[in-house]
Amino acid sequence: MNIKRIGILTAGGDCPGLNAVVRAASKNALRQGIEVLGFKNGFDGLVRNEFIKITDQTASGILTLGGTILGTSNIANPFKYTLSPFGTPQEPRDLSGVVLHNFKENMLDALIAIGGDGTLHMAQQFIDLGLPIVGVPKTIDNDLAATDQTFGFDSALHIATEAIDRLHTTAQSHHRVMIVETMGRYAGWIALRSAIAGGGDIVLIPEIPYNDDVIVNYILNRKSKGKTCSIVVAAEGAKNEKGEQTVARTVPGSTDAIRLGGIANKLSDMIESKTGIESRACILGHTQRGGTPTAFDRWLSTLYGAKALDMVLENKFGYMAAFHNFAMDEVKITEAISNLKRVDPHGDEVSCALKIGMSFGSRAIG
């Protein structure tokens, strides 16, 4: 297949490293005489036919930038389109045919779709309709199967760890319990690794159900030993023993309508009322998604972007660039989205945390 023009889009939530992927894929393409169109705001750009032409000048200077110069959307699903003026949350429309038309109209030979689980699900639907698409895994949650690490995760982990470091001093000064809420959706990678790296005392993750009394008793036991403060790191998707998560709101039309959040406030109220110890909640939220990517994420994103263009040239459509054992390869997108990669409750990282005295607020594990 003679590749003359490709499209690139960034969809789903933003994260550090997106621009580095766009830069690497574009530079690889431009140096081989391939035109590059960057579609705005994820798949919405293919619906509305809105794009920019990416040149060497466009790709210059964006390696260190957070966010994405193309814009993104986590609600623009062409198969259930809810955005004005073409659809509404009450009456979503299937505009996949419009995407197919615009792809052909722009004489594209391939599309590189950069995104997480929801984006890759949509990409697979278009692949099934005949579009030549290569995927690049993006999520700070690090929950995509079939790759060792997604770009953006290291930056989010760094931000969460630094926040925990800073909260230690205020917790010690005021003899408080500080509850740090991290992102991660249904996987506990950010919470667990930042708690280990930052010296958290309790870590709550979706994979290990927690019990209020276990948390309270652990904190009171620390106090009895002269520990006047405690740090609790809670993943936004942590579940109690009843399987309940803390839901902030729902967003109709999104690929994942549930917006988790607020567990830190709930835990703060519970801990203070049951222990009498002053407690404060710190919700890190979107600070974990923004800003300059770490050196590791810039490096990893560049590898992903260059690999994605190589896959286009090799006609590896329906595949996703993957990172295994510090080398690049590819896996089928269907394999990547078949299961979420989650923390193993019996794995080495959980075992390590227990050995150094951390609690998971669980009666079963500690």
190 contact partners, CB below 8 Å, separation of at least 6: 140, 141, 142, 153, 156, 157, 160, 182, 183, 184, 235, 288
141 is catalytic: yes
What do you get for the CA distance between the two ends of the chain, in Å? 56
**Burial class of residue 250 in the structure, from the number of CB atoms within 10 Å of its CB (0-12 exposed, 13-18 middle, 19+ buried):** exposed
Nearest partner of 36 among 312, 284, 314, 359, judged by Cα: 312
Q: How far is CA 248 from CA 236, 237, 261, 352, in A?
A: 10, 11, 5, 32
Options 14, 117, 141, 297, the catalytic residue: 141
Nearest partner of 6 among 238, 312, 244, judged by Cα: 312
Q: Are 324 and 147 in contact (CB under 8 A)?
A: yes
Return d(Cα 348, Cα 344) in angstroms, integer: 8
Nearest partner of 171 among 6, 269, 80, 281, judged by Cα: 281
Return d(Cα 42, Cα 32) in angstroms, integer: 25
Return d(Cα 351, Cα 327) in angstroms, integer: 28
Strands 177-182 and 279-283: parallel
What type of residue sits at position 313?
L
292 contact partners, CB below 8 Å, separation of at least 6: 16, 64, 65, 66, 155
Kindly list the catalytic residues. Answer: 141
